[in-house]
Amino acid sequence: MIIKLLELFGNFFLIGLFTIGGGYAMIPMIEDVVVGKGWLTYDELINFFAIAESTPGPFAVNTATLVGFNQIPEAPILGAIVTTTAVILPSFIIILIIAIFVNNFLQKKTIRWALDGIKATVVGLIFAVVYSLFVTLKSDESLNIYYSLIILGTIIALKLIFKKKIGPIPIIIISGFLGFIFYYLI
């Protein structure tokens, strides 16, 4: 059983490492390994693909889990854990390495200054869009109250982001909620 688990781990690790483009890009490689080694017939693999596609979660992870579960009859849960871990481990390692370098990269003053400049540019672009919408739609008198609310909301949101250091995600959620209320309930 240990040999089989190591073989499953090695093969699914390589599938995860050398496949670029997501779960569907893994299909030919999974087919080559699984059918080529006689772990499943082609028809069984197609059924596994159908099950993996219809269950929640990433397609490739679901497929790896099903194959691992099927290949170790005496310990199907262990087989599923091994293949699932193997297929996601390469991506995890690569992202971890990238995160380490990005963190060091972001510590440089020039990079922080550039990102602050980008933030200011984004704010300017948002104001430009708001202004152009305001000018374009100003002819409709019934919407003037909404324009005032949009401008007020934008000013409050920017103050919360820059002065109170509140992240953009809560602002987006609150704005969406308020937009829903104003659009559908008022």
pLDDT value of position 38? 92
3-state secondary structure of 140: coil
Per the structure, the count of domains in the chain is: 2
Domain co-membership, 181 together with 138: yes
Q: How far apart are the C-alpha atoms of 103 and 101, rounded to whole Å?
A: 5
pLDDT digits (tens, 9 = 90+) for 94-125: 989 888 888 777 788 888 888 788 888 877 77
pLDDT digits (tens, 9 = 90+) for 47-91: 888 888 888 888 889 999 999 999 988 999 999 999 999 999 999
Domain co-membership, 6 together with 98: yes
Domain extent at residue 11: 2-103
**Is 42:31 a contact under the CB 8 Å cutoff?**
yes
Domain co-membership, 8 together with 99: yes
Spatial CA neighbour of 181 closest among 146, 147, 148? 146
Domain co-membership, 127 together with 69: no
Domain co-membership, 6 together with 96: yes
Report which of residues 23 and 38 the model is more confident about: 38
The pTM score is: 0.57
Domain co-membership, 62 together with 118: no
